[in-house]
Amino acid sequence: SAVISQKPSRDICQRGTSLTIQCQVDSQVTMMFWYRQQPGQSLTLIATANQGSEATYESGFVIDKFPISRPNLTFSTLTVSNMSPEDSSIYLCSVEGAGGPRTGELFFGEGSRLTVL
Amino acid sequence: AQSVTQPDIHITVSEGASLELRCNYSYGATPYLFWYVQSPGQGLQLLLKYFSGDTLVQGIKGFEAEFKRSQSSFNLRKPSVHWSDAAEYFCAARSGGYNKLIFGAGTRLAVHP
């Protein structure tokens, strides 16, 4: 399984500011995924990030609010822009297993817990 | 629309008792099926997965799950629960390797001594 490191692990932010979350993987992967887990809720996919192309956003999520970078095959960032208390969530980075899309399984980082005051 | 349903939000069992967590899916064809566990303050860990073949799959930590096509179900079981199994359990499905993973709402498991 892939080892996924996220930074920061947690942060407290002020309303109106932006925060960038980093995701580093110990192996090259084609697709990286960003999920949001609101308090007491399940996981919702924000976007899929492929290296060298624009991220693909799910319904309800827009690039202006959640810009994503994918500069190489082991790294991605998610920025939460102009934060409000409703953005308080755990944000998780995810990648596919070593077998790629054929295996279907995803592995997750430990998440970045953001609290917006 | 594709969906995953976990009917039980909270389950409490006594340590040593058996456990079954329910999961139903709604897809046009049988998807890939997964169970993940999230311990407090932790990320998600994959417990087991089903792609095809044997309908009873074994996972880590003594868990198993049974796929039943006729019921569109993929229930998670463990014969004897340990206190360390207290966590949130998520069932998830993916219709193919290039499609998104959809999660159920999760079941929070509490274990009494």
All structural domains of chain B? 3-112 (2.60.40.10)
Question: Å from B82 to nearest chain A CA?
Answer: 23
For chain A, list the domains and their CATH numbers: 25-116 (2.60.40.10)
CA distance B105 to B93: 12
Q: What is the pLDDT along chain B (113 residues), one digit of tens a residue?
A: 889 999 999 999 999 999 999 999 998 888 899 999 999 878 899 999 998 888 999 999 999 999 999 999 999 999 999 999 999 999 999 887 667 889 999 999 999 98
Residues with Cβ within 8 Å of B41's Cβ and at least 6 positions away in sequence, in order, are none
* Strand order across the beta sheet in which A19-25 lies: A4-7, A19-25, A75-80, A68-72
Of B46, B94, B103, Cβ closest to residue A42: B103
Residue contact B101–A45, C-beta within 8 A: yes
Q: Which of residues 48-67 of A touch B (CB under 8 A)?
A: 48, 58
CB A21 within 8 A of CB A80: yes
Structure tokens at A21: 């979350």
Q: What are the angstrom distances between the C-alpha of B57 and each of A19, A54, B19, B34, B53?
A: 41, 37, 16, 10, 9
* Number of other CB atoms surrounding residue B8 within 10 Å: 15
Of B46, B51, B98, Cβ closest to residue A107: B46
- Residue A21, chain B, CB below 8 Å: the answer is no
Q: What is the pLDDT along chain A (117 residues), one digit of tens a residue?
A: 788 999 999 999 999 999 999 999 999 988 899 999 998 889 999 999 988 888 999 999 999 999 999 999 999 999 999 999 999 999 999 998 776 666 778 899 999 999 999
- Residue A42, chain B, CB below 8 Å: the answer is yes
- Residue B34, chain A, CB below 8 Å: the answer is yes
DSSP A3-48: -EEEE-SEEEE-TT--EEEEEEESS--SEEEEEEE-TT--EEEEEE
pLDDT score, position A101: 65
Structure tokens at A56: 């693909």
pLDDT score, position B52: 86
pLDDT score, position A30: 85
Residue contact B90–A41, C-beta within 8 A: no
Identity at B56, one-letter amino acid code: L
pLDDT score, position B97: 62
Shortest CA distance from B39: residue in chain A: A110
Of B43, B46, B98, Cβ closest to residue A111: B43
Residue contact B44–A48, C-beta within 8 A: no
pLDDT score, position A97: 76
Eight-class DSSP state of B98: T
pLDDT score, position A106: 87
Residues with Cβ within 8 Å of A68's Cβ and at least 6 positions away in sequence, in order, are A34, A47, A49, A55, A76, A77, A78, A79
First to last CA, chain A: 36
